[in-house]
Amino acid sequence: MTKPLSNAYALIPFAIFILLFIGSGIITGDFYKMPVLVALFVAILFALAINRKADFQTKISQLTKGGGHPNIILMVMIFLLAGAFAAVASGMGAVESTVNLGLTYLPGGWMVVGLFVIGCFISISMGTSTGTVVALAPIGVGVAEQTDIGLALVMGAIVSGAMFGDNLSVISDTTIAAVRTQGTEMKEKFKANFFIVLPAAIITAIIFGVMTADASASLNENYSYNIVEILPYLGVLGFAIAGVNVIYVLIGGIVFAGGVGLLLGKFSGMEFVTLVGDGFTNMQTLAMIAILLGGLVELIRANGGIEFLLQVVSRKVNSNRGGELGIAGIVTAVNFSTANNTISIITAGPLAKQISDEYGIEGRRSASILDIFASSVQGIIPYGGQILAVAGVASISPVAIVPYCIYPLLTAVAGLLAIAFRYPKFTVENGKKVWKSAS
């Protein structure tokens, strides 16, 4: 495939999308005024009009190629199945019982911290942030409904926990992409990452604890739950932790929840089918956003926008520390433009490898930086799959969730500090490399 020529103007459609989507909300004070699909469609029309050298049919082919990318279609499948599982689980009482169980044994002020920690555990076990958020979002909605904790705050905690594992899990596609493009070992990259992001995770838990410390004041002490109704969630979480493919996990969750609901008399067979259909319908807009955004990104790439970003950032590199900042800047810029951390790592990875080789940056270090900053950006952009997913389940604006995505924000800070202070370091003792957590 021929590399497209660098072209700054190719990024204009993306700027238009951001201005329409976020700018209109800031101006009007209502982020629902401008439908996301309308903003995306206007941006796509501009992208189709930019490159006059290519015929219209070629540009339409690029649009459909991007929208039909395997990662995009997989995301759509996950969204639809997640919507169906959420609808069926809610219909058979799983959400209410799960929340009531948590409220029975946890003070209200610990519920959000608990969701964050559970999200960290699930995501690092199953290797997917998207699968984690769609599994926990319905529970988060229930927590918000039965406490005085804001829905956006709860969703932000879930996204934060999901991005922890997305960055660290050895089976995460972002981790695998970072390791492979940088030619290092998985365990070495994990060690480098762990020392950097663990303080961010601890501080995040503390912040959530402080923010929700007085939540128990509004709680009702009478919580009824049926442990049988909780089994579908336990099944989903168990298989997720076991590393089962997220598609199998969600399909199994739908069947399991449906079976329990039928046995308990919560709904009939046709009502179960209706719930599945309602769940699909609830996620249709989100699926269309993913497809159109994928098409827009491919048009921008084909017109030279991504190549322009890569060249601009790489020109600033002139030292080891500058190389590390360059790698961070490249993957950050690409992730903001593609809204997909896996694609951004695959795109920026080869150039990051060149920079690493030229300025003596270890592979484990460059892989860690790639993954940290890609995951950080992915967890704070309101048009990213993770935030769109929880916003869809919670029926709130994705922009409202961003301020509460504390862990991704702190991860970026931790990454910058790690570059500034050469943290973590390792030394050689008795012929073996030993990692140190202090600079």
Model confidence over 253-302: pLDDT tens digits?
899 999 999 998 888 989 999 999 998 988 788 788 778 888 888 898 88
* β partners of residue 425: 436
Give DSSP secondary structure letters for 329-384: HHHHHHHHHHS-HHHHHHHHHHHHHHHHHHHT--HHHHHHHHHHHHHHHHTT-TTS
Is the pLDDT at 375 greater than 50? The verdict is yes
Is the pLDDT at 122 greater than 80? The verdict is no
Residue 425 DSSP class: E
Is the pLDDT at 196 greater than 50? The verdict is yes
**Looking at residue 107, what is its pLDDT?**
63
**Looking at residue 318, what is its pLDDT?**
75
CA 199 to chain centroid, in Å, comes to 20
**Looking at residue 428, what is its pLDDT?**
46
Higher-confidence residue: 25 or 419?
419
What does the pLDDT look like over 213-264, one tens digit per residue?
876 544 455 567 788 888 887 787 677 657 677 788 888 889 999 999 999 8
**Looking at residue 35, what is its pLDDT?**
77
| Annotated domain spans of the chain | 71-284
pTM for the predicted model, two decimal places? 0.70
Question: Which candidate, 161, 166, 159, places its Cα nearest to that of 205?
Answer: 161
**Looking at residue 439, what is its pLDDT?**
36
Is the pLDDT at 55 greater than 80? The verdict is yes
Is the pLDDT at 99 greater than 70? The verdict is no
